[in-house]
Amino acid sequence: MEEYVFTVRQCDDTRWHVYEAGFARSLASFGLKEDAVEYARDLARPRPTAEAHRSVVEGKAGREGISA
């Protein structure tokens, strides 16, 4: 089973960015943390045809795992 990890992080530009583990650039950025977390959770949500395990990690310094 594959695992995808998405991270929500606030960067120097004060925007909230969504990253996928293994990729340097953010997938998207948002003005509100809630919007970024919602987007990351949607990406992590299993699709009917996919049997992958995905999780979201949010935070600036600390990391909290959220599985979807």
Q: Where are the beta strands (DSSP E) in the chain?
A: 3-10, 16-20, 28-30, 53-58, 64-67
Place of tokens 């009917």: 48
8 Å CB contact between 5 and 57: yes
What is the chain's Cα-based Rg?
12
Query: For the segment 9-60, what is each residue's pLDDT rounded down to a tens digit?
Result: 998 878 999 999 888 899 999 999 999 999 999 998 877 765 556 666 776 6
pLDDT classification of 67: cutoffs 50, 70, 90: very low
Domain boundaries, the chain: 3-67
User: Cα-flanking dihedrals φ and ψ of residue 34, to 5°?
Assistant: -60, -40
